[in-house]
Every structure is written in C-alpha cells, then in structure tokens.
Amino acid sequence: MSQQRTGHEAGITGRVGAVTPSAVLGSQPDFPDLPEATVARLPEYLRALHHLAETGHDTVSSEGLALAAGVNSAKLRKDLSHLGSYGTRGVGYDIEPLVGQIEYILGLNKRRAVALVGVGNLGHALAGYAGFASRGFRIAALFDADLTRVGELINGIAVRHIGDIPEVVKSEAISIAVLATPAGAAQAVADQLVAAGVTSILNFAPVVLNLPEQVDVRKVDLAVELQILSFHEHRKSARGAEQAKALARGAELAKTVARNGSPVAARGEVAA
C-alpha cells in the first residue's frame, strides 16, 4: 500500500521515441531512449531534488532521493542510469547537474506556454495555481465560450473567447493545452485546439478524446481516483471483517503487513 501511487501509465507499451538522432550536438547530452515508466517518475525526482537543494544539500544518495520521491532505491538508480552517469560511487548524486539533466530531458529548459480552456469552477482554480509557474510552465492564454466571462482578468491574464484560439495559439506558440470544459464540449474544443496546432492536451473532462495519433493526451479524473480508492476500501473492509472473526489477537498483524494473505469477501460492510 505504501509505495505511493502517483497516477500514471497503466501499461503504455514501447519505449518513447524510437528514432534517436544519436548525433551529439554541442555539449548537450544526447537524447536517450527512456522507458515510459521512467519518464513518468522523472518529474517526481525533479521535485524532490529541488526540495533537497532548497534545504541546503548538494549531494544525495540513491537511498535518500528514493525516500524523498517515494520509490525504492534500485528503481531510482536504474532510472537515473538511463540519463547517463550523474552519480559517484561511494558518494551519491550531485544535485545541481542532475537537476539540469532532468530538466533538459523533460524539455523544461524553456518555459513552456500553456493554454487553459474552460474557466469555470475547476479552471479558475487551475488558472490561479502557483505551482504551474514554479515548475516550468506559463499560462499564456485562458479561453471560455461564455461571453459573460470573456474579458475577466484572472491572475493578471484576460479570458478570451474560444474563437480566438487559432490566432492566440499561433502567436504565443502554444503546444500544450489544459482542458477544463464540461464533458459535452470537450471533444469539440479539443478538435479546435488540435486544428490550431496544439499537440498535447491535459484533459480534466470525463470523456475519452478521439484525436489524431500524434497528439498526446493525458487524462485526470478525480472520480476515477476515488473509485480506485473505494475498491481498496471495499477490499480492506472485507478482509477486516473476516479477520475479526478469525482472531482478536494482534499476532496476525505481521501477516497483514506482509501483504497478500487476504481472504473472504464480507459482503455488507463498507467502512472500517
């Protein structure tokens, strides 16, 4: 249970990017072939590294970084080994160059412009989110279909009408968009975004978007997350109910922790 589940990649197949140029340009490290699972963890490593740097460290062991990032150290070492060698045996990793390398790999050298479409309940919160800016992104445009909202200033940036998407996406060189419209509008809006040149979409609407192959879509669905938790709750309570019958002693605790030794579905019960 406790290896933290950060939502990612149920099982995306294949490595990312088949055709590596393999030409080393300038002093920039090459663009390696990263396993998708590794890519999904790099942002977490990056966050942990920034935190460590801020708290005065300039070196960290795989064990320490793994702890901070919520993974085990073997996995972390293997992940980092894909980026090239930034560690020193007997010592650990130099934080600064490692941060630089991860940021480079993630394409965060340059602050990326992001468009946010649908400035409602959720969109409003996202538009005001500071972590956006502090982690490599710049909200370059806000869009909504509701004319009464157009013109409104949020965090210093004006809401524009979705009709302006093509123009603004081009002028601001936006390639990533965040979609926070109602589900019913999401597909149409996504189509407009893609037509305007957007190639990556973070979708908060609970629908599966149907888009061209080359467009990257990630989906965040709060209800899905809760339902997964609910499943485990259901399981836990089933397990708990049985154990209550079988034993009142704590001797079994070890087994419970040991994982997997779980039986019987007690139907009715739900909460602990």
Residue 119 binds which entry of DNA, a copy of itself, ligand NAD, none, with Cβ cut-offs from 5 to 8 Å by kind? ligand NAD
Residue 189 and residue 209 in contact, taking contact as beta carbons nearer than 8 Å: no
Residue 239 binds which entry of a copy of itself, DNA, ligand NAD, none, with Cβ cut-offs from 5 to 8 Å by kind? a copy of itself
Comparing CB distances to ligand NAD, the nearer of 28 and 210 is 210
Task: Identify the CA nearest to 118 among candidates 136, 152, 142.
Answer: 142
Q: Residue 243 belongs to what H/E stretch?
A: helix 222-246
Residue 248 binds which entry of DNA, a copy of itself, ligand NAD, none, with Cβ cut-offs from 5 to 8 Å by kind? none
Residue 216 and residue 199 in contact, taking contact as beta carbons nearer than 8 Å: yes
Distance of CA 75 to the CA centre of its chain: 18
Q: Residue 98 belongs to what H/E stretch?
A: helix 95-105
* Residues 6+ positions from 225 with CB-CB distance below 8 Å: 7
Residue 146 binds which entry of a copy of itself, ligand NAD, DNA, none, with Cβ cut-offs from 5 to 8 Å by kind? ligand NAD
The answer to whether residue 119 forms part of the interface with ligand NAD (CB under 6 A) is yes
Residue 243 and residue 228 in contact, taking contact as beta carbons nearer than 8 Å: no
Residue nearest to ligand NAD (CB): 120
Instruction: Provide the mask over 104-133, with x wherever binding to a copy of itself is found by CB under 8 A and - wherever it is not.
Output: -xxxxxx-xxx------xx-xxx-xx-xx-
Comparing CB distances to a copy of itself, the nearer of 88 and 185 is 185
Residue 88 binds which entry of ligand NAD, DNA, a copy of itself, none, with Cβ cut-offs from 5 to 8 Å by kind? DNA
Six token digits for residue 192: 């407009």
Distance of CA 185 to the CA centre of its chain: 24
The answer to whether residue 125 forms part of the interface with ligand NAD (CB under 6 A) is yes
Residue 198 and residue 177 in contact, taking contact as beta carbons nearer than 8 Å: yes
Comparing CB distances to ligand NAD, the nearer of 122 and 215 is 122
Single out the residue of 34, 67, 84, 129 in contact with ligand NAD (rule: CB under 6 A): 129
The answer to whether residue 250 forms part of the interface with ligand NAD (CB under 6 A) is no
Order of all β-strands in the sheet with 92-94:
59-60, 92-94, 87-88
Contact segment (CB under 6 A) with ligand NAD among 33-41, 50-58, 183-191, 225-233 equals 183-191
Residue 138 binds which entry of ligand NAD, DNA, a copy of itself, none, with Cβ cut-offs from 5 to 8 Å by kind? none
Contact segment (CB under 6 A) with ligand NAD among 34-42, 64-72, 119-127, 210-218 equals 119-127
Six token digits for residue 31: 């663009």
Mapped onto helix, strand or coil, the DSSP state of residue 166 is: helix
7: amino acid identity, one letter: G
Number of Cβ within 10 Å of residue 205's Cβ equals: 22
The residues binding ligand NAD (CB under 6 A) are: 117-123, 125-126, 129, 131, 143-146, 149, 162, 180-183, 185, 189, 204-206, 222
